[in-house]
Amino acid sequence: MGRVICAGLGPGDPDLISLRAARLVGSARHVAYFRKAGRPGHARRIVEGMLAADVSEYPMEYPVTTELPFDGPDYNAALAGFYDHWADRLVSLAQSADVLVLCEGDPFFYGSFMHLHSRLNGRVPVEVIPGITGMAGCWTATDMPITWGDDVLTVLMGTLPEDDLVGHMQSADALVVMKTGRNLPKVRRALARAGRLDAAWLVERGTMPGQRIARLAEVDSADCPYSRWFWFMAMDGGPRSGNERVARHRGPWAGVGCDGHTRGQRCTGAGDGCRRLHSLCGAGGAPRGSHAAPFRQPGRD
Ligand SMILES: C[S@@+](CC[C@H](N)C(=O)[O-])C[C@H]1O[C@@H](n2cnc3c(N)ncnc32)[C@H](O)[C@@H]1O
């Protein structure tokens, strides 16, 4: 009996595929991948030119994507039947050979493969190859670190109700919003209500040809056609230096910069907030408790 192997392919640039996944892609005889009906599929596009000439391909076309409300019973029933069908099909194919399932990013990070994984369990050997997530590709593309020290990273789906988005955004240290697409106007409104819009960056097609990075506040929604090649991610960030970032990144610290010293200089002030600020501003080496007080954030340090 063969195995069902799901390979995470990273954020989009084929150079960011792991060696193990690349070896499997090049030698696979059976390759399956998800795609919207009539579209090539993001994962399939990443491996263009890498598959063997005699490979058999199995596009797994979603019966619905955005046509029905994603939390409605019809949507759930259609997708459950779809995953049941493909789990059976993969088990059947794996009777004689390995089957490789392609997955964008990392399979266990909001990946569709998870729906097959639970259905394949105990029926066929399954292996999962991790991949670099799309969000890692995106924040690296911005050249801005996303989390520092003991920051809590919040990952949200743009499909959430607006009030839920606002609540999570308000409490986040650092923030990633995925599945923005047609939800972009809602995500933008929620960021504005949470007071985070000015810190948000939009990354389209991160690490892929046509990559675009822009401050979300400066992007015109009309300039974002929701075509298949446009993926969206809004993320908390700020200007490209640690000091400025501190000023914009923290809700309670909004407007407060690390003005006690500049990046790389030794701090001479005093206060409990310095541990966090030093990790943010890059002034390494200074002992804890040696920063000027204005940055104190009760309950955080
Ligand atoms: C269903 S999730 C799959 C996540 C994937 N398993 C991962 O590890 O990144 C797809 C969403 O991730 C975001 N995304 C993934 N890769 C991206 C990229 N390279 N550029 C922009 N957004 C990306 C988009 O918001 C897209 O709608």
Report pLDDT digits (tens) over 233-259: 555 544 333 443 443 333 322 222 343
* 126-129 vs 30-36, strand pairing mode: unpaired
Distance (angstroms) between ligand 1 centre and the Cα of 148 equals 22
pLDDT for the residue numbered 294: 26
pLDDT for the residue numbered 222: 65
Nearest to 85 by CA among 28, 32, 7: 32
pLDDT for the residue numbered 66: 61
Q: Which residue carries 């390759």 as its tokens?
A: 31
DSSP string, 133-195: -HHHHHHHHHT-----TTPPEEEEETTS-HHHHHHHHHH-SEEEEE--GGGHHHHHHHHHHTT
Task: Tell the residue nearest (CA) to atom 7 of ligand 1.
Answer: 105
Residues of the chain with pLDDT under 70: 65-71, 73, 221-301
Q: How far apart are CA 61 and CA 290, in angstroms?
A: 58
Distance (angstroms) between ligand 1 centre and the Cα of 172 equals 20
Q: Which residue carries 């000439």 as its tokens?
A: 53
**Dihedral of the CA atoms 48, 50, 54, 59 (nearest 10)?**
-40
Put the strands of the sheet holding 153-157 in their side by side order: 153-157, 174-178, 232-236, 200-204, 212-215
Largest CA distance in the chain: 69
pLDDT for the residue numbered 33: 98
Which CATH superfamily groups domain 4-132?
Answer: Tetrapyrrole methylase, N-terminal domain (3.40.1010.10)
**Domain chopping of the chain, boundaries:** 4-132, 135-236, 255-295
Nearest to 47 by CA among 108, 118, 131, 113: 131
Q: Which residue carries 């520092």 as its tokens?
A: 148
User: Amino acid identity of 221?
Assistant: S
CATH topology of domain 135-236: 3.30.950
User: Amino acid identity of 109?
Assistant: F
Strand partners, 209: none
The pTM score is 0.78
CB-based contact 184:157 (threshold 8 Å): no
Distance (angstroms) between ligand 1 centre and the Cα of 234 equals 11
- Judge if 4-132 and 135-236 fold alike in CATH terms: no
Q: How far apart are CA 231 and CA 202, in angstroms?
A: 10
Distance (angstroms) between ligand 1 centre and the Cα of 111 equals 9
User: Amino acid identity of 136?
Assistant: A
pLDDT for the residue numbered 199: 87
Q: Which atom of ligand 1 is nearest to the CA of 111?
A: 6
pLDDT for the residue numbered 44: 97
- Rg of the Cα atoms in the chain: 22
Residue 183: CB within 6 Å of ligand 1?
Answer: no
Residue 105: CB within 6 Å of ligand 1?
Answer: yes
Q: How far apart are CA 155 and CA 259, in angstroms?
A: 30
CB-based contact 82:62 (threshold 8 Å): yes
Q: How far apart are CA 254 and CA 125, in angstroms?
A: 51
Q: How far apart are CA 62 and CA 83, in angstroms?
A: 9
CB-based contact 74:7 (threshold 8 Å): no
pLDDT for the residue numbered 148: 83
Q: Which atom of ligand 1 is nearest to the CA of 135?
A: 9
